[in-house]
Amino acid sequence: GPFRSPFFTATDAAGRLFVADFDAGKIEILDPDGAVIGTIDTLPGLGALTEPTGIAIDADGNLIVGQEQDQRIVKLALPPLPE
């Protein structure tokens, strides 16, 4: 959907763009053409994603997310590529 405060981005090896939307509490996943193909708004075992303050893709292809409100950094496996 529309972004509220998209401050942070990262790109994976497949060319997907991950956009961390601080105020919306989510990460939108866009394909190389700019179409939204997914959303991350919960963290497995941790609940809702809140105030993502930074994102990166590490050398192993994991998504690293910083959260201001919860004062933590979380490592997530990247979502699989669409078929």
pLDDT value for 81? 74
Residue 83 has pLDDT above 70, yes or no: no
| Number of helices followed by number of strands (H, E) in the chain | 0, 9
> Which residue would you say has higher pLDDT here, 71 or 55?
55
Q: Render pLDDT for 12-38 as a digit per residue (tens, 0 to 9).
A: 999 999 999 999 999 999 999 999 999
**Mean pLDDT on 51-62:** 92
CA distances (Å), origin 16, targets 37, 47, 59, 73: 9, 24, 15, 21
- Is residue 52 exposed (0-12), middle (13-18) or buried (19+ Cβ within 10 Å)? buried
Torsion of CA 15, 34, 27, 24, to 10 degrees: 160
Average pLDDT, the chain: 89
Residue 7 pLDDT grade (very low, low, confident, very high; cuts 50, 70, 90): confident
